[in-house]
């Protein structure tokens, strides 16, 4: 079973996000050895999971005004 992918890790720069191993940046086990894969929050910002289809369900935190990833912006209630 794959590990749950964190939406907002505390220190994403310390980990390679390229596979389910989540290796530290100084001990990459994938074998490419060239560089680490950045977390999407590092590349796209804190709301990275709200845009696009990432293949996992995201629930909005309790009391948050932020819509869940599967909500469609601009939809009017029926």
* Residue extents of the structural domains in the chain: 11-55
Structure token digits, residue 70: 């599967």
Give the per-residue pLDDT at 26: 85
Residues of the chain with pLDDT under 70: 1-2, 31-34, 58-78
Give the per-residue pLDDT at 41: 92
d(CA 42, CA 35): 15
Give the per-residue pLDDT at 61: 55
Distance of CA 38 to the CA centre of its chain: 10
d(CA 54, CA 69): 9
Give the per-residue pLDDT at 25: 85
Q: What is the pTM of this model?
A: 0.62
Which residue bears the tokens 């939809």? 75
33 Rama class: left (phi>0) / alpha (psi -120 to 50) / beta: left
Which residue bears the tokens 């590349």? 43
DSSP bridge partners of 15? 24
């Amino acid at each position: 079973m794959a590990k749950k992918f964190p939406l907002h890790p505390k220190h994403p720069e310390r980990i390679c996000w390229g596979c389910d191993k989540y290796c530290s940046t100084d001990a990459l086990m994938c074998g490419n050895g060239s560089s680490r894969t950045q977390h999407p929050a590092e590349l796209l910002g804190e709301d990275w999971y709200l845009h696009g289809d990432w293949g996992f369900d995201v629930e909005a935190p309790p009391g948050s005004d932020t819509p869940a990833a599967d909500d469609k912006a601009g939809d009017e209630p029926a």
